[in-house]
Structure formats: C-alpha cells, structure tokens
Chains A and B, each alone.
Chain A
Amino acid sequence: MSSAEPMRIALLGAPNCGKTSLFNALTGGRAKVANYPGATVEYQKGMYATSDGRQLELLDLPGVYGDCGHSADERVTIDAIHGRLEGEKAPDGIAVVLDAAHIKTHLHNVLQAKNYGLPMIVVLNMMDMAARDGVEIDLVALEEEIGVPVVSSVAVRSAGRAALVELLDSWTTQIVDGKAVTPTRENRDLKILQQHARAITSRTIQATQVQSRSARIDNIILHPVLGVLILISILFVMFQAVYAWAGPAMDVISGGTDAFGALVGSHMSDGWFKSLIVGGAITGVGAVIVFLPQILILFAFILALEASGYMARAAFLVDSLMAKVGLNGRAFIPLLSSFACAIPGIMAARTIESEKDRLTTILIAPLMTCSARLPVYLIIIGAFIPAKNIGMFNQQGLVMFGLYMAGIVFALIAAFFLKKTVTSGEKPSLLLEMPSYKIPSFKSYLIGLWQRAMIFVNRAGRIILPASIVIWFLSYFPNKGGPIRESFAGMLGRVLEPVLAPIGFNLEMSIALIPAMAAREVAVSALSIVYNVDDEDGAGGILEGALAADWTMPMALAFLAWFVFAPQCLSTFAVTRRETNSWKWPFFMFGYLFVMAYVAAGLTFWVATWAGL
C-alpha cells in the first residue's frame, strides 16, 4: 500500500444496523458521493482521522445479509468488497457492523464475512438498546470465538464510540505494519455456518425472555386497524405540513427575491441586459428557490420515518395492498422516496430482489408526486382554490392531498396492468426484517437534510438558471420584449397549441411545457417569465394574479391533471435508461405517461366545463 493513498476501510452490515449513522458520526458527514434518503443507494466515501492523525477513507455500503448479492444494490456491496467496482480498489480492511440486539439472528453473516480474507473487526452497534432488551453479550468470549477484534459501540454518542476509536487506531496501525490478523476461513455452507454461529451465541450471549421495546411498539404500529390509521394520519399530517408550515419561510424568501431583483434593477439601465438579469435569471431562479422550505419539510418527514425504523413497518402494512396489484411492500420505500424525486426513488428500487417487480416499480415511480411538481401545484392551487377551511381542514391542503392521492391511485392501476402484461412472471414474495425502533441521531439527521437541501439548490443553479435564461431568450427575442405571441417561445408554443388545445391548454401553458422538460418546476419559472416578461420588477407574487385573470377554472384543473402524470422530465428518462440498461423501457414509460396525461387533462377539462366550474 502506498503511503500517499489513505487506507480504505469498508463498513459492512445488514440493512438498518446503524452503519450510516456510524459513518456520519466518524466522518462528520463530509461524504463524497450523493446519498439519497432512505437506504444508502449507491455508496458513500468519507475521510476519518485517527487519533495519531492518519487519514482513513471509510466506505458506507448498502446493507447485505450474505455474500450472494440477490438485488442490484447488494451486488454493489459485494463488488466493492472484492474490488470489482470500476475505478475503485478493494478495501484494506472490513468493519462488520452488527445491531447488537439482533446478534443471535445475524452472527453467521459475520462468520461469512471472514471468507473475504481481509483484516476484519466487528462493531456491535446499539449496545445500549440491546442491554435494555435483556441481551447480555460476553465480548471477551465472543472475540475469542470469532477470532477477530470485537468492540461495542453506541454510534450516536461520542462516549459510546470511545472503544471503537481506540480499536481503529491500533488495528489500522497493524494493517499498515502488515501485522493485522487475516481471519481464518469458515465453511462456505450456510447451514453449517448457522450451526456454528448458534453454538457461539449459546456460549456467549444471555438473553432474558423479555418483550423487546420494539416488539411492544409493534403491538400498536402493526395493529391491523390502529396501525393503518396511524399510517394514514402520518401521511396526511406530512402533506398538510408541507402546505401549512412552510408559509412564513416562503414569504421571507419571495420577499427577499423581490427586494434583490429591485435592488439589482435599480443599478442597471433599461435594456435587454437588465431584462435578462432581473426578468430572466432572478425571477426564474427565485420562483423555484421559494419552494425550498416545502421540500425540506417533506424530506424531514421521509428521513425521520426511515431513520426511526418506521418505514419497514409501513412496508408491512401496505404489503397486502401492493399484493393486489402484483407488487410487494418493499416497493413502498422507493415509491415514498419518489415523492421527493423520482430519481432517488428509481435508484432505491435496486433493493427489490425480483427484476420484474423492480421494473414495475421503476415504471410507476414517476406517478408519485415529486417535489418538483409541488411548485406547479402550489401556484395553480394558490391562484384558483380559495384558502377557506372545510371543517378543520384547509381547502387548498385538501386539493393538494387529492392530487397526491390521484398519483398513487393511477400508479396502482398502472402497476396492475403492467404486471398483467409487460412485466408478468415470477411468483410474488416478500422477506423484510423489521429494524429496531430508534431515535435517530440528530446530527446524522441534519446531515441527511442538509445533503437534500444542497442537491436542490445545486439543481437550481445547474438546471434552472440556464433554463431560465433560455426561456427568457426565447420569450424576449426576436421582438425585444414585445408580445409573447411574436417571440420564439410563442412560435414554438403555436406548434404545440393545436395538439393541446382540445384539452384546454392555451398558448402560455403550451410554452411552459417545453422548458419543463429540463425539470418540472421550471414550468413555474416559465409561466412567471412568460406572464411577467414586460414587468421587470415582477416576481412570484404577481404570477398567481396573472394566472387567475387569464385562465378559467377548467383550464387550471386540466393543467393540474396533466402534472399528476407530468411525463416530460428528462432526468427521469435518463435515470430509467441507466437503471434498466435499455432504451425500450424509458420510451415505454414516456409513451404511457403521455397518453395518460393527455387523456386525464382532457377529461378533467371537459367534465369541469360541462359542470360549469
């Protein structure tokens, strides 16, 4: 090993054993690779400094039970350990992380890891909770039986990591000196390994027969009636919160954007350049950044549900519903992630073992209302739906809830037909361990939230800023800020208009759909530029008024219905292309979504018109 390159240690363990919390605690969250919420989708790398100042590179890998790699994400882990990942060398050592409360079930996975032939240590994580559940572990005896160093840890507390920090110091020094013990090989037969592991645990572990805390909580959470009510309540509160709690923060941001635009504008002379900066860049980016509070609230919920251990229970509760459309409960996690963005959702589908189920999940993921559609919904709802209360519920919140539900219902219908036709085959199955309930580490939680916020803001910079400038250009030229109909955007919109006119879309709506291919939320920037193109100090607030004045109720509802399917996201197309490794499936996905969007928007428009709305 060259001294220039840091030593590389892989964290290996079952799903939900607390690897990522440990990783965040050791690296301080300075990870290099994007980590989407929920399961660790790809893998992340971060640096950790030992007490004597040496740098270690830690690898946080997707959770695995064995060494077979049944699903796509398990194969990433196995490949990483064997050094088969492109451009990545094999790790110099493995730290196997084990939820101490689950040691009796998973010790054979530790024995299996010895066969990788790399220096190894075992980290018994969440020791405090195991002790509370009546599990007593004789660490010295266990270390002797396994033949590699064993250390206990409470990853989320720095005092709980003291022994681990000490072991990392001495163990990695041994690796550098070539003195680290390579574990003895174990039998490769799983049945024999299990017997060996059971023999070890019977000698080293005392488990008093008490009902664990997680089991007591499950009596309520997994209750057939109460549990389902709790799940529905959580989802309902989540979506109400996105709408109701973000208001003040959004007012601050949109006020700030307005003031900033006015300030910049007052220092510039009138002309195309001022229009570009104020009317294009600032208005366009501001119209999207204003939704950051809502996206943060949504992720705050998703991350908390995942980190607390609730998500697997939700998967259990919805499994029988998913079974009716031929999917399993595991698909719930990628689908819920898709409420934030279809891209991490489609990637999280890697945890689904059955290829056919995985494909079905990928194909319906874009029907979940991603946060990029939120800006569009919010603007249209704000302009057309009165903010009065029906009973205890905000009417705008109810419409929002309805749009989310519409996405879910159509996703289930689509899954049903897909499983009957193009993705049929393979017997449905489910095998899902319920992780221990835990209160997530606040730091790890904030790191996750921060990563999400940064991805959104970067996106605003990389995609929305250039898109805003392109839209501005198309709507400003060649007639230098004249009527929109005579600009390039108007010409493009006129090409689409005849196709979209039967479903109630006007020219401005048709124009807005073009740049929305870069990202769905750009539709808002586009509308705001298209409607405010002559008003250089204008910003988000004016847009709602402009829409309310220009669109009829059926038009607004048709536009909302279109965005339930919103088939035009190019990033979704690209990730589907990559994850399915084919051109056929992304085209198929776009095709069926376009047809559904067109039919749904048309039906909405004509029914609403007929009803006299």
Chain B
Amino acid sequence: MNEKTTLAALPKSVRARIIGFSADTEDQETRFREIGFAEGDIIEILHVGVFGKSPINVKLHGTSIAMRPRQAAMINIELLNESVS
C-alpha cells in the first residue's frame, strides 16, 4: 500500500501519482484539469519559492506549473514505491 497524502506535503524531488482532487470549489477543480492535472499523472515538486516555501513549481509531463501550497493541498497523491535517487 503506497502512502497517500496531498501535494502540499510532498517533499521536493519525490515522485508521486495523482489519485484525485478535493478542491474547495468546482471551479478550482476545473482549473486544475484544464491546465493539465489528471488522475494517474506522475508529478514531482521541482522548485520552491523564496519565502515560506511558496509558491511551488510542479513538474507535469513535459511542462511545469506554479501554484500556492494552499492549492497543492487540494491535489491528492500517493507516493511511488521507488527509492529516492
């Protein structure tokens, strides 16, 4: 059983799989999906902002997307079973 958490709790450079969204509004979930996040996608935090670890820069396929930790907490993930290199 892989550990389940949210993107906000994912350490930098650790890969995880999206398992769903718990957005505060339907509009927020639509925006996540429109910009490209979907169940099953593998994501990883590449960069973290200067102050207060905000925003975060999330790798998604060939691109990367910036968001605030408050929003990252709405993306549910499971860690991949792989050793951190």
Contact = CB atoms under 8 A, between A and B. Distances in A.
A281 to B, nearest CB: 50
Interface in B22-64: 24, 27-28, 30-36, 38-41, 46-52, 54-55, 57, 59-64
B68 A429 contact: yes
B49 A317 contact: yes
A432 B65 CA distance: 5
A76 B53 CA distance: 35
A323 B69 CA distance: 12
A438 to B, nearest CB: 13
B5 interface: no
Interface string A423-440: 000011111111010000
Contacts of B33: 66, 108, 190-191, 194
A70 B71 contact: no
A68 B41 CA distance: 23
Contact of B36 (A106, A133, A215): A106
A430 B47 CA distance: 15
B9 interface: no
Contact of A320 (B30, B55, B59, B61): B55
A391 interface: no
A198 B51 contact: no
A316 B55 contact: yes
A105 B65 CA distance: 11
B54 A319 contact: yes
A104 interface: yes
Given A316-B55, A320-B49, A320-B50, A102 B68 contact: no
A321 B63 contact: no
Contacts of B48: 224
Contacts of B50: 224, 228, 317, 320-321
A200 interface: no
A429 B66 contact: no
Given A66-B34, A430-B71, A105 B54 contact: no
Contacts of A102: 36, 61-63
A479 interface: no
A328 B34 CA distance: 20
Given A218-B47, A317-B50, A320-B55, A430 B30 contact: no
Interface string A162-204: 0000000000000000000000000000110011001000000
A429 B71 contact: yes
A interface SS class: helix
A212 interface: yes
B70 A212 contact: no
Contacts of B30: 66, 68, 190
A433 B62 CA distance: 11
Nearest to A109: B34
- Which of A65, A70, A105 counts the most chain B CB atoms within 10 A? A105
A305 interface: no
Interface in A196-233: 198, 207, 212, 214-215, 218, 222-224, 228
- Which of B36, B39, B59, B65 counts the most chain A CB atoms within 10 A? B36
Interface in A310-341: 312, 315-317, 319-321, 323-324, 328-329
A324 B68 CA distance: 13
A287 interface: no
A519 B70 CA distance: 42
Nearest to A103: B62
B52 A320 contact: yes
A150 interface: no
Given A65-B34, A433-B65, 5 more contacts: A70-B31, A103-B62, A105-B62, A319-B49, A432-B67
Closest 6 CB pairs of A and B: A105-B36, A66-B34, A104-B61, A65-B34, A194-B38, A320-B51
18 contacts: A68-B34, A101-B63, A102-B61, A105-B60, A109-B34, A190-B33, A194-B38, A198-B38, A207-B61, A315-B66, A319-B68, A320-B54, A320-B55, A328-B68, A428-B68, A433-B36, A433-B63, A434-B66
